[in-house]
Amino acid sequence: MSILVDDNTRVVVQGITGGEGSFHAQQMMEYGTNVVAGAVPGKGGQEAHGVPVYDTVNEAVEEEDADASVIFVPPAFAADAIFEALDTDLDLAVAITEGVPTQDMSKVYKRLSETDTRLLGPNCPGIITPGEAKLGILPGNIFEAGNVGLVSRSGTLTYQVVDSLTQRGIGQTTAIGIGGDPIIGTDFIDALSLFEDDPDTDAVVMCGEIGGEDEEEAAAFIAENMDTPVSGFIAGRTAPPGKRMGHAGAIVSGSGTGTAESKINALNDAGVPVGDTPEEVADNIEDFL
């Protein structure tokens, strides 16, 4: 089983005629993802990679029965693209775009409370259910179908952990990149809840990083609500206070929260072993299974 996407997911690519959108749409299709349409204002009536392009997401949803979108739109226009997706009947929107202004995302976040559409990202690598569908930029060749869920703020860390798992023959149900920005659509608790409810996910990997308190909040959720075992990893252990490390959300304020130590302690207190390396994370998952 999987969460959020599978081989029945019908995808519209917002920005399919741009460089990034075109390249990754083709990669997604070659992986087997059911890309049914593109949406680009002013490009309606064209085709891209053999699928029709519409002027609006709503047209693509109505004409092609799409239920998910993936957004490859420049930062200045990304919020508008997200709003357009949220104004349809889509189940899922995945925003890959990096550098979306925080002020724009605060408006998007308010809109999310008024819609049933789930948003992943922005500034995320996307989501993949191995062997069925991938939405985003994840390298499909390192994933393998199995029984371990994964949720991560970092794309690169996702790849490292998944590679360690796959090399040991440990496959994945679904892997979700939630993004590393301060304001995102889906957080750790949202994803962990979905994995907890999935009968085919027997263990979960949660990859966090310094900055914010999401991991501490997730640790409390795990302790109170999860029977599925979780293994953790926290990136940025050597980062100095006040310095941004890669992601806009990865800033330690010096207040005593948001540090690698505080996150690791919270996870350990919740019964979550935290690996020092991706290989140690895979060790922990092997012990669970």
- pLDDT of 185-204, one tens digit each? 999 999 999 999 999 999 99
**Alpha helices per DSSP H over 102-180:** 102-112, 155-167
pTM: 0.93
Q: Is the pLDDT of residue 250 over 50?
A: no
Q: Is the pLDDT of residue 40 over 50?
A: yes
Q: Is the CB of residue 135 less than 8 Å from the CB of residue 33?
A: yes
Q: Is the CB of residue 197 less than 8 Å from the CB of residue 204?
A: no
**In the predicted model, what is the mean pLDDT of the chain?**
93
The yes-or-no answer on residue 24 being catalytic is no
Q: What is the pLDDT of residue 252?
A: 47
Q: Is the pLDDT of residue 242 over 60?
A: no
Rounded CA separation 53/90 (Å): 17
Q: Is the CB of residue 84 less than 8 Å from the CB of residue 57?
A: yes
Secondary structure (3-state) at 282: helix
Q: What is the pLDDT of residue 212?
A: 87
Label residue 258 by pLDDT band (50, 70, 90).
confident
Domain 10-120: which CATH class? alpha beta
Q: Which of 10, 24, 134, 247 is catalytic?
A: 247
Rounded CA separation 223/204 (Å): 14
> What's the DSSP call for residue 16?
T
Q: Is the pLDDT of residue 214 over 50?
A: yes
Query: Which letter, b or e, does each residue of 5-39 get, where b requires 16 or more Cβ atoms within 10 Å of its Cβ?
Result: beeebbbbbbbbbbeebbebbbbbbebebbbbbbb
Q: What is the pLDDT of residue 80?
A: 98
Q: Is the CB of residue 222 less than 8 Å from the CB of residue 196?
A: no
At what angle are helices 75-86 and 57-64 packed, to 10 degrees? 40
| Residue spans in the chain of domains classed CATH 3.40.50.261 | 139-288
Q: What residues pair up with 84 in beta bridges, in sequence order?
A: none
| Residue spans in the chain of domains classed CATH 3.40.50.720 | 10-120
Using a pLDDT cut of 90, give the percent of the chain over it.
88
Q: Could you tell me which CATH number the domain at 139-288 has?
A: 3.40.50.261
Q: Determine which helix (DSSP H) or strand (DSSP E) holds 24, and give its type and residue range.
A: helix 19-31
Label residue 251 by pLDDT band (50, 70, 90).
very low
**Alpha helices per DSSP H over 168-277:** 188-197, 214-225, 260-269
Q: Is the CB of residue 83 less than 8 Å from the CB of residue 104?
A: no
Q: Is the CB of residue 133 less than 8 Å from the CB of residue 6?
A: yes
Would strands 126-129 and 133-136 be described as parallel, antiparallel, or unpaired? Answer: antiparallel
Label residue 249 by pLDDT band (50, 70, 90).
very low
Structure confidence by residue, pLDDT tens digits, 132-179? 999 999 999 999 999 999 999 988 889 999 999 999 999 999 999 999
